[in-house]
A and B are shown apart, each in its own frame.
Chain A
Amino acid sequence: MPVDDVVANTDVAPADVAPADVAPIVEMRGITIEFPGVKALDGVDFTLRAGEIHCLMGENGAGKSTLIKALTGVYAIDAGVITVNGRPESFHSTADAQKAGISTVYQEVNLCTNLSVGENVMLGHEVRGVGGINWKATHREAARHLKNLGVDIDTRSGLFSHSIAIQQLIAISRAMVTDSTVLILDEPTSSLDRAEVEQLFGVIRDLRDRGVAILFVTHFLDQVYELSDQITVLRNGALVGEYPAATLPRNELIAKMIGRELDDLTAISSSASRTIDRDSAPLFKATDLGKKGVLEPADLEVYEGEVVGFAGLLGSGRTEFARLVYGADRADSGRIEKRGSSVRISSPRNAIDQRIAFSSEDRRAEGIVGDLTVAENIVLGIQARRGWLRRVSKAETDAIVKEYIDALGVRPADPNRPVRNLSGGNQQKVLLARWLATAPDLIILDEPTRGIDVGAKADIQRKVAELSAKGLSVIFISSEIEEVVRLAQRIIVMRDRRKIGELESHDIDVDDVIDYIANEAQENVA
């Protein structure tokens, strides 16, 4: 990839675009962080000003997370200067950063689910009275902080009883308790639905107007433009430039992030229009597959080489349906046929024996085995299939791992690195490699592109299109209906834990699918 043709810092000098009258709260200059063998950040400059929403953009592995971790004291910097409110700081821990007024809300909510909402908000800042903590005052204080963000809930309720969206807001309140002047939001929207995102954005704008400097990281381009004032782009650990959001067209932003024009995505569009031979028996057929309280009995047919998309809102039952197909949860009704003969699938092992693979939507909890290496994660599927006695030999492992690292473009291409150190997109590629290596004939991909950057997303979509053209059957689940429409030949539409219909996708677009979901909903009401 021609990464050096756009030299860092030459596009726009940060000083040219900075609103001159606002003094920066955070100034990072020449930040360099090295890991063994990799320069994760190379002389990066970054400026954050009071009352702005600043988006940090870049592909996976561009150095966004590393830069954030440098600012929050998780990583020590090898070179460079961090200035906060005009004072040079050297952070040795996240506590140091918090003391300097920098708070972070992570992608995965970092709260204690077993504590109450109030306890979470006030943790470490409880109101003390004579004889210890004054819980009444503490909860009152927590409620006040939550109200500031427009959240009106019982602070004595358990955190676990609230949705992820509310938990995000609770995490933000928690950051505000410490009077933070800088708020870092790392992928806060990846598990929220549309309305929840709106609520969160309202809160973020409100905080900006109160003078908080906000650093926002997301993979959703729409959200970048909806929310941000400034955009800083990183690529391969180096700064590309800082731009006012209003003057940077979307395609230019993408080009700057990946260093090439993004026509890859359009090339895939032929996938959906490919015709599938449905005269012969289906590869996979489920009849009345369901589980009480989880999914109403539904039918599913997947033909050889076909990509079947599951579309529907979060919680519509699309993941639940996939888990029943795979045996991750046990169905209590229904029959399953594979290549015309009846089979029993009541556990993942049964499904694997039937050459069905399933990549979960929860990459961290149900996908990767963090402390194992990339190579071990890739061969895990084959090894599990073979059993512990027949070890996949070193030579075999090397061959398989090399093949998939090359084919899927896993970066860094180091098979001996613990997989937890890879970016989300690359972890997803490792999982895809794990399953492809087992040579399945049906692969279920649940949200394979969630929370990963455009480049990796294009890689994965291209791979899906390519493999299905070669005869692999795919069930493709995604919140992004666009993606489903682009890849799938047939779309199963789900709503309220129920299959509401099937659409042939060669002559429909995203709006048709959305209309279908909406109209079906109205019919039901009527």
Chain B
Amino acid sequence: MRNIVKHSVFWPVVALVALLVINTLVRPTFARIVIQDGELYGTLIEILRNSAPLMLVALGMTIVIATRGIDLSVGAMMAVSGSVALTIIDSSPTPEAPHIIALAIGGGVLVTLVFGTWNGFLVAVLGIQPIIATLVLMLAGRGIALLITGGFTTTVISAPYKFMSQGYVLGFPFAFFVSIAAVTIVVLIQRRTALGMLTEAVGINPEASRLAGVRSRGIIWGAYAASGLLAGFAGILYSSNIMAADANAAGNLIELDAILAVVLGGTSLMGGKFSIAGTVIGVFTIQTLRSTIVFLGVPPPVSPVFLAGVVIVVVAVRSQLVRQTAARWFASARSVARPNSKVTS
């Protein structure tokens, strides 16, 4: 039992489960899943579907944060990849053709991969502080996205492109499979190779890692490139959802949600040890919260206040002090249950 409580994702899971339970109690329809034409529908399914862009961004953010960095430009990069993709589709006479869709996706993520590489260059090679280095593209990115679309919100009609966010496969939303694929690939690359351990080493003690021969420059550079790539895919999903390249709304403030998801998942902003599982739980927690806000009918202008309140509770549950107090309660509850145990004697 003690080992379960001490596991790094224990409290994040508790927070998520509590949120789900409260939702189910308050509105019984929350947990209801309807099967229609072999496809699943319901609030939970919506959460799985809508969380995909944040999932991709938060995965990249986790790796970047593990290196002691931060990537503020992910939202802007989402706008850029959506603009590139939709401009390609828009300028094509055959917007439904598979090769055009592939070109649009490839073009979008290639641009953000380049942007991510640029961020990595600033941080890993020039040694610029991550928050400043990525602020550059955070500010410039949306301008670049508008340049690409010529200042308009490009809209397109393309069923296959729309399928990515709206389509279903094996009863589940396609976007959910994108999340699963991204999580799986990141876990495989980080944990099946030594990359995860070396990333943690660089995040915990950069100088010791350098002297131990770790190529920390490449590792940090790669983290930002990966973050760019993942943000690119997130931008594709987002634009597929609204079938428009909205340079201002796409991924707006998602960098903060992503950072929050990483922290909720138990990865420290100080870098070092990171938990992909924790981030996944953090993403679902945030998405469930958003769903709860909509359901409760909290007016959009004040919804950030509500969100902030819940986040404070969730983070407080995870604080060292609260945990120790909980552990003490736990211990005293046990000693009451067993009056002859060592604790009371």
Contact = CB atoms under 8 A, between A and B. Distances in A.
Interface of A: 36, 326, 328, 348-349, 352, 358, 360, 365-372, 376, 380-381, 383-392, 434
Given A366-B207, A388-B219, A391-B192, A372 B212 contact: no
A380 B201 contact: yes
Interface of B: 2, 192-195, 197-198, 200-201, 204-205, 207-215, 219, 272-273
Nearest to A359: B211
Nearest to B196: A388
A191 to B, nearest CB: 18
Nearest to A381: B212
B207 A365 contact: yes
B200 A366 contact: no
Given A358-B211, A372-B204, 19 more contacts: A36-B2, A348-B210, A348-B212, A349-B215, A360-B211, A366-B208, A369-B200, A369-B201, A370-B205, A371-B200, A371-B273, A372-B197, A372-B201, A380-B212, A383-B194, A383-B197, A388-B195, A388-B198, A390-B193
Contact of A391 (B2, B193, B211): B193
Contacts of B205: 365-366, 368-370
A392 B194 contact: yes
29 contacts: A36-B2, A328-B211, A348-B211, A358-B211, A360-B211, A365-B205, A365-B207, A365-B208, A366-B208, A367-B211, A368-B205, A368-B208, A369-B200, A371-B272, A372-B200, A372-B201, A380-B197, A381-B212, A381-B213, A383-B194, A384-B214, A384-B215, A388-B194, A388-B195, A388-B219, A389-B193, A389-B194, A391-B194, A434-B212
A386 B197 CA distance: 13
A42 to B, nearest CB: 14
B259 to A, nearest CB: 20
Contact of B204 (A370, A381, A386, A434): A370
Contacts of B195: 388
Nearest to A420: B204
A328 B211 CA distance: 7
**Across the A-B interface, the 10 shortest Cβ-Cβ residue pairs:** A384-B213, A352-B213, A391-B194, A388-B195, A384-B214, A369-B205, A369-B201, A388-B194, A383-B194, A371-B204
Q: Chain B: interface secondary structure?
A: helix
A366 B211 contact: yes
Contact of A349 (B193, B213, B219, B273): B213
Best-surrounded residue of B193, B194, B209, B219 (most CB of chain A within 10 A) = B194
Best-surrounded residue of B208, B209, B214 (most CB of chain A within 10 A) = B208
B146 to A, nearest CB: 38
Best-surrounded residue of A358, A368, A384, A391 (most CB of chain B within 10 A) = A384
Contacts of B211: 326, 328, 348, 358, 360, 366-367
A376 B207 CA distance: 16
B212 to A, nearest CB: 5
Nearest to B273: A371
Contacts of B215: 349, 384, 387
B213 A367 contact: no
A172 B266 CA distance: 37
B214 to A, nearest CB: 4
B213 A385 contact: yes
Contacts of A381: 212-213
Best-surrounded residue of A352, A365, A386, A391 (most CB of chain B within 10 A) = A391
B189 to A, nearest CB: 9
Contacts of B198: 380, 383-384, 388
A455 B14 CA distance: 46
A24 to B, nearest CB: 28
A360 B207 CA distance: 11
A36 B192 CA distance: 29
Best-surrounded residue of A348, A360, A366, A369 (most CB of chain B within 10 A) = A369
A348 B204 contact: no
A372 B274 CA distance: 11
A369 B213 CA distance: 13
A177 B239 CA distance: 62
Contacts of A360: 208, 211
A387 B195 CA distance: 8
A384 B204 contact: no
B213 to A, nearest CB: 4
Contacts of B207: 365-366
Nearest to A365: B207
